[in-house]
Every structure is written in structure tokens, then in C-alpha cells.
Amino acid sequence: MYAGATLVVLLVLVLALVPLFARRARAVDRRLFLWGGGVALPLLTLTALVPYVMRVGHESRAPLPTDRLSVEVTGHQFWWAMAYRRAPASAVVASANELRLPAGERVELLLRAGDVIHSFWVPNLAGKTDLVPGRVNRLVLRATRPGVYRGQCAEYCGLQHALMAFDVVVVPRAEFDLWLAHLARPVPPPAAPELRQGRALFDSLGCSSCHTVRGVSRGTLGPDLTLVGARRTIAAGALHGGVGNIAGWIASAQHLKPGNAMPSYDQLTGTQLRALAAWLESLQ
């Protein structure tokens, strides 16, 4: 396609320049220009191109048997909620800002919007599909090779549209099953004193009213943090993971990503911050 496009542009360029270098009046074959260039050229290109493009991309809407894995992806300003479901009757397991997929398997994504319009786009896996309030859009994805793919919101959704990304982590099927089972379990009680302090802070500061940590809290206003320590990025791709960035994010979320729903907890002491971040980081 690109070669064809280049040829057309070159043809026009050459046709536009030739008369400048051969300056003499000449009678041209008007029919060649008008019928040949004006009608035949686009018509032939289109009859070659249109039937082709009409047959491409249908697999993204293909019907799937209902016993397959499906993921409900909900866009929020400015983060992603993911909810996995193995089969129609099985329980839903929630996560956020990271999509894990089994390699080689076709997965149905059900795309919803929590507030405004967003668009789900993982350039290396599929084209984009919008998340529209009041609608559920389907997108069938199949990632063949394990690896990490970057995804992001592609429809302007407000102040921090730029910082609304996520990772797609494609792993072998067996590994995926283990991970999903792990995700569904409540997090283990904290072992070290610092982690215990962190967990206590999570409750006392009110983090639990917005965030879910399985077995700890059930907030839904913000991203699910059940396995937040295992994610490669935090705050919807705004920062790399790790205890330092988690602490930085808690202390100055409004500075790092102004206008997101998370307040800056800049009143915390260094110790408190470290404890809270360490507990979150331990959720792996």
C-alpha cells in the first residue's frame, strides 16, 4: 500500500514538473489525462483495494464460544479497571491498569466506560475500539507471542488523557491460570512490623474506601491494588513500579498527575510513607 501511495505521489510530482522543464505549448491528449488519470487510475486502485480491505479485520468481532476467557475493561478518568471471567458462571476477578492474557488464545474483551469516552488501544495487538458510556463494545484479541505490550487510551478523555496507559502482559497459558488463581485469593496477612504498620495506615488513612485489596478492602472508586506490587507501572502508566515510586505517588499524586482522583498525602511522615509503600509493594 505504501509503495502504491508513493507511486501515485511521484506520478503527480513528475507530471507537475515536466512542463516546467520542457517549456513549449503542446497539444496534450486530454482524454489520457482525464479518463486515464482522473477516472481509470483511482477506479482501478479502488477496485483492487476495497475488496481487500472489506475482508480484513473481521476476526476482531468474531463470535466466540461462551466458555472462553473474557475480560471486562472499564475506562475511568484516568485509569483502567480489568475484570476477568473464565466462564459465564464463574466468579469475576478484578484488577487494574494491567491486562494479562494467555498466549495463543482468543480472548473476548468487553469494553465499557465508567465516565466519559475512552479508547482501548494496544498498537502491537489490535486496532483501537472505543469505550462508550451506555454501550458495551466487543473486541476479540489473540496475542500469539508472550511478552509485554504497551496499551493506552486513544480517545481524548480530559486533563490527563496523556497519562492513561497500561501494560498487556502475555504469558503462557499455564502461567496465566496460576496468576489468575493467585489474583482471586485474599492477600496474606503482613509478616513484618513495617508491613503491619503499612496495612494499618491503609485503613486509617481511608485508602480502603477507594481501593480494593482482596481480603482487606472493597473500595471501587480507584484502581484495584490486589497485586499492585507485581505491576510494572503504577498510576496507569504514569510511573514505573517499585516501592520508591509508590511512596512518591502517595505523597504527591496531584503533582505527578494533576487532576487525577487521588489526593496527595503530603502530610505523612517519611516512616509512615515508607511503611505504606512497602506493604503495597509486598502485594505480589
Contacts (CB under 8 A) with other proteins, residues 94-113: 111
Tell me how far apart the alpha carbons of residues 170 and 205 are, in angstroms, rounded to a whole number: 35
Rounded to whole angstroms, the Cα distance separating 209 from 217 reads 7
Q: Which one of 37, 206, 219, 242 is in contact with other proteins (CB under 8 A)?
A: 37
Cβ proximity to other proteins, 127 vs 263, nearer residue: 127
By CB under 8 A, residue 16 contacts other proteins = yes
Pick out residues in 59-88 that bind other proteins (CB under 8 A).
60-63, 77
Selected binder of other proteins within 83, 103, 117, 210 (CB under 8 A): 117
Q: Is 55 in the site for other proteins (CB under 8 A)?
A: yes
Residues 150-169 that bind other proteins (CB under 8 A): 150, 152-163
Q: Is 185 or 255 the residue whose CB approaches other proteins more closely? A: 255
- Show the cell assigned to 268: 505523612
Which positions from 130 to 149 touch other proteins by CB under 8 A, shown as an x/- string? x-xxxx-xx-----------
Is 221 a binding residue for other proteins by CB under 8 A? The answer is no
Applying CB under 8 A, among 12, 48, 148, 192 the residue interacting with other proteins is 12
Which span sits near other proteins by CB under 8 A: 49-57, 177-185, 198-206, 210-218? Answer: 49-57
Number of chain residues interacting with other proteins (CB under 8 A): 79
Q: How far is CA 189 from CA 186, 192, 282, in A?
A: 9, 10, 10
Q: Are 276 and 201 in contact (CB under 8 A)?
A: yes
H or E stretch covering 10: helix 2-21
Query: DSSP strand E in the chain: where?
Result: 70-76, 79-85, 92-96, 98-102, 106-113, 118-121, 129-131, 137-142, 147-153, 165-171, 212-213, 217-218, 233-234, 239-240
* Nearer to other proteins (CB atom), residue 17 or residue 181: 17
**Closest listed residue to residue 129, CA positions, set 140, 116, 141, 120:** 120
Nearest to 141 by CA among 126, 159, 151: 126
Asked if 126 touches other proteins (CB under 8 A), the answer is yes
Pairing of β 118-121 and β 129-131: antiparallel
Give least dist CB 244 to other proteins, A. Answer: 18
CB of 35 to other proteins, least distance (A): 9
9 makes contact with other proteins (CB under 8 A): yes
Residues 224-243 that bind other proteins (CB under 8 A): 237
Q: What is the CA radius of gyration of the chain?
A: 26
DSSP 67: T
